Structure 1
Amino acid sequence: MEDRPGRVQRQSLSDELAQRVRRLIQQRDLQPGDRLPSILRLARDFGVAPPTVREALRKLEMLGVVDIRHGLGVFVGSDSDPLLVRNPFEGAPGARMLLDLVDARISIEPTCVALAAENATPAQLAALGALLDRAEEALPAAEAALNEANLGFHREIARASGNLVLHQLLDALGTAMRQEQRIVNHTRPLRERFHAEHLAILRALEQRDPAQAVERMRTHLEGVRQALLTAGSPDINPT
């Protein structure tokens, strides 16, 4: 029997609500990528305030149960029993760690984009295009909206690869990647350059050209690495 919406009674509202939303996904047999009701609708159905819903959804996102796409809505995540989860106590990474992060991405993301060139659905390609449209609107200033759109672009490519572990891995690196975005997008020329590279990657995906997609992704990430080095920090030693 389906767990029908009703007022949550326990003291830890967000934890209880997270469990209720998870059961709702299972009982309605919702699949990865299916849209959940809006935050306001969930708040009304479960008799809680919208901030409580947001807190519960953030907890579920850490587990991969839901995927919060800013400006688009909340969707069922790729895995309700994830292999990898984000560290909820993770702080801002140091410069040395950021450089190691980009080196790891250079090893991982070309594989993601090659698989995405073969496996991405038309809906996923459209979602990538929508993210780049949002990024273009935010180019004039280094706003959080630009960083989120750029991060979403890379995460969506990992999702489109069809490999759950690669997708979860990019999700788990989210906090560190946000810090990286804030550093490398500090000037308008860099923002425009990286946006153009994202567009080129998308064109390769639309053309179903894995080799071109890999080359463009690797070039892009090597540029990000160089931007981090150029930003300068005593924690980064390229030798």
Structure 2
Amino acid sequence: MSSARIDAAPSLSDRLTEAILAIIRDEGLSTGDAIPSARELAKRFEITTPTIREALRKLEATGAVEFRHGSGTYVGPTINNAVLANPHRPPITRNSVLQLIDARLMIEPGIAASAAQQRPNLERLEEAVTNALTPPGGPKFALNFHVELAAATGNDLVRELIESMLSVRVREQQQIRQLYDNRQRDHEEHYAIVEAIRAGDAATAQDLTRTHLQHIRQAVETAGELA
């Protein structure tokens, strides 16, 4: 493959990240696929290896690539996302947690209504219901209930929107899990939403999702210090 020389410039690191992303796209790589090593990329771009590593760290901070110790660098889970996490986020506050919940209140009830109208295969959503019973700090979820709720609409962009929002505000989402600690209630509310979707009852699915998020908001508002 011919080399793609990139001359030093103030925006070199940003240009390198774009060039690496172009390689991923051009070679048809997807999440979990290995990408060329930093040394190989440095040779390809005729630039130093530390400079390549700086660009890779930028991509790693957004989840576009991920490092596996002793194995190499791989395409990350957010490679196709339109919204990526900011690695330089401001400190988490109660207000930032509430803003996340309020944003979800604007979006997710309508998502639940749409899912009920679609009458989708609910296997993945049902599997995610039991996540609510897992205490904070427990095993990492294979499936996220609210992401799978969005996926049940059949609209890939809607699923990506929710997945990206929760990724961008992952620290706020972790606080929500800490502060809304009624795991049984959380589970029951998730289950009721799934049953409304199964019945094709869009209005009930929408109302239950709104009520569920309002309960979460109340718990955060009345909680003591952030965990």
TM-score (norm 1): 0.60
SS in 2 for 1:173: helix
Change (3 A) 1:101 1:184: closer
Counterpart residue number, 2:163: 171
| One-letter amino acid matched to 2:127 | A
Change (3 A) 1:188 1:59: closer
Q: Deviations over 1:200-234 (max 9, x none)?
A: 21222222221121111011100100110121359
User: Is contact 1:98-1:176 (8 Å) kept?
Assistant: no
- Pairwise CA distance, 1:86: 3.9
- Pairwise CA distance, 1:168: 4.1
Q: How high is the sequence identity, in percent, across the aligned residues?
A: 30
| One-letter amino acid matched to 1:58 | G
| One-letter amino acid matched to 1:126 | E
Q: CA RMSD in A?
A: 4.1
Trace 1:1-239 onto structure 2 (pairs within 5 A).
17-25=20-28, 36=30, 39=32, 42-43=33-34, 46=35, 48=37, 55=60, 58-59=63-64, 68=77, 77=80, 82=82, 84-119=83-118, 121-122=120-121, 125-133=122-130, 135=131, 139=134, 141-143=135-137, 145=139, 148=141, 152-163=144-155, 166-175=158-167, 177-186=169-178, 190-233=182-225
Counterpart residue number, 2:43: none
1: CA distance between counterparts of 2:61 and 2:26?
13
- Pairwise CA distance, 1:167: 3.5
1: CA distance between counterparts of 2:120 and 2:24?
27
Change (3 A) 1:109 1:67: farther
SS in 1 for 2:200: coil
Larger radius of gyration: 2
Change (3 A) 1:94 1:126: same
User: Is contact 1:197-1:220 (8 Å) kept?
Assistant: yes
2: CA distance between counterparts of 1:99 and 1:187?
12
Change (3 A) 1:10 1:201: farther
Q: Deviations over 1:71-126 (max 9, x none)?
A: xxx9x85x6xx3x444343245311121122122212111111111223632xx22
2: CA distance between counterparts of 1:90 and 1:106?
22
User: Is contact 1:128-1:156 (8 Å) kept?
Assistant: yes
User: Is contact 2:179-2:223 (8 Å) kept?
Assistant: no
- Pairwise CA distance, 1:165: 5.2
User: Is contact 2:128-2:148 (8 Å) kept?
Assistant: no
- Pairwise CA distance, 1:132: 2.8
SS in 1 for 2:63: helix
- Pairwise CA distance, 1:19: 2.8
- For these two proteins, the number of residue pairs brought into alignment is 192
Gap regions ≥5 residues in structure 2: 7-12, 39-55, 67-74
